[in-house]
């Protein structure tokens, strides 16, 4: 049987694979370190046999990486979908922060994803290789931001005297800062709520005409 690549469409996913992905993501949401996740943890939580995981994946790493790609792709698609309903840069930025903040599970996963992208862990290395091949793929958050900014510039909402590169990195960095604050503050995100308007205002002040 052909193994899972991580690029399957939502509806192509075998049921067991969905269960595996869910299990991985839940484990991450519970704060378990990627490096200490055991195959038996995953399959047990997924409610399937250990051998079954290996019918679909070659290694433990594959399972985890594909689960992450799945989660991040899904998150980005959903955010894209939300953003497509808004037509100004300011609204889009606001919605972006709101969307990213909304789902606990995805947020956790996204943080993990970002970590791994800048990480030298076993999964990190593999993920980065994937990402290098995937510049054009759904799981590329930078691309999403780039498109948003370019569209904003076309509409005349976003300044043009700053390099696109800088604006995108800057946005990403602010978004991650915000996520980090959300993450740190588990008692309800009050610090995040306090800082959010300033972060947004900083973005608008610097990048909007």
Is there binding between residue 118 and a second copy (CB under 8 A)?
A: yes
Residue 59 is given by DSSP the state S
Residue 67 CA to residue 194 CA, distance in Å, equals 33
How far lies 63's CA from each of 37, 42, 98, 132, 179, in Å? 11, 9, 29, 19, 25
Q: Is 3 in the site for DNA (CB under 7 A)?
A: no
3-state secondary structure of 1: coil
Q: Which is nearer to DNA, 35 or 177 (CB)?
A: 35
Position 2 contacts a second copy (CB under 8 A): no
Q: Pick the stretch among 9-17, 21-29, 160-168, 195-203 that binds DNA (CB under 7 A).
A: 9-17
Tokens encoding 94: 């606001």
Stretch that binds a second copy, among 49-57, 63-71, 137-145, 193-201 (CB under 8 A): 193-201
Q: Which is nearer to a second copy, 82 or 111 (CB)?
A: 111
The entry of DNA, a second copy, none near residue 165 (CB within 5 to 8 angstroms by kind) is a second copy
Spatial contact of 108 and 44, defined as CB atoms under 8 Å apart: no
Virtual torsion, Cα 174, 102, 192, 197, nearest 10 deg? 70
Contact segment (CB under 8 A) with a second copy among 16-24, 42-50, 142-150, 163-171 equals 163-171
Using rule CB under 7 A, residue 48 touches DNA:
yes
Q: Which option in a second copy, DNA, none does residue 90 bind, with CB closer than 5 to 8 A by kind?
A: none
Residue 132 CA: distances (Å) to CA of 43, 87, 160? 29, 31, 28
Q: Is 52 in the site for DNA (CB under 7 A)?
A: yes
List of residues contacting DNA (CB under 7 A): 1, 14-16, 36-40, 48-52, 54-55, 58-60
């Amino acid at each position: 049987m052909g193994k899972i690549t991580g690029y399957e469409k939502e509806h192509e996913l075998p049921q067991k694979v969905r269960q595996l992905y869910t299990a991985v993501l839940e484990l991450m949401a519970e704060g378990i370190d990627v490096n200490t996740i055991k195959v038996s943890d995953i399959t047990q939580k997924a409610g399937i046999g250990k051998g079954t995981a290996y019918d679909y994946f070659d290694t433990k790493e594959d399972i985890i990486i594909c689960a992450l790609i799945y989660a991040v792709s899904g998150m980005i698609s959903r955010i894209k979908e939300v953003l497509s309903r808004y037509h100004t840069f300011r609204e889009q930025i606001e919605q972006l922060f709101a969307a990213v903040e909304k789902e606990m599970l995805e947020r956790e996963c996204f943080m993990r994803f970002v970590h791994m992208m800048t990480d030298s862990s076993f999964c990190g290395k593999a993920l980065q290789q994937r990402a290098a091949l995937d510049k054009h793929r759904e799981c590329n958050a930078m691309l999403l931001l780039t498109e948003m900014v370019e569209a904003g510039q076309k509409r005349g909402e976003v300044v043009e005297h700053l390099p696109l590169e800088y604006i995108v990195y800057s946005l990403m960095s602010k978004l991650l800062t915000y996520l980090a604050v959300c993450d740190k503050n588990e008692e309800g995100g009050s610090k995040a709520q306090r800082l959010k308007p300033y972060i947004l205002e900083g973005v608008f002040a610097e990048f909007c005409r």
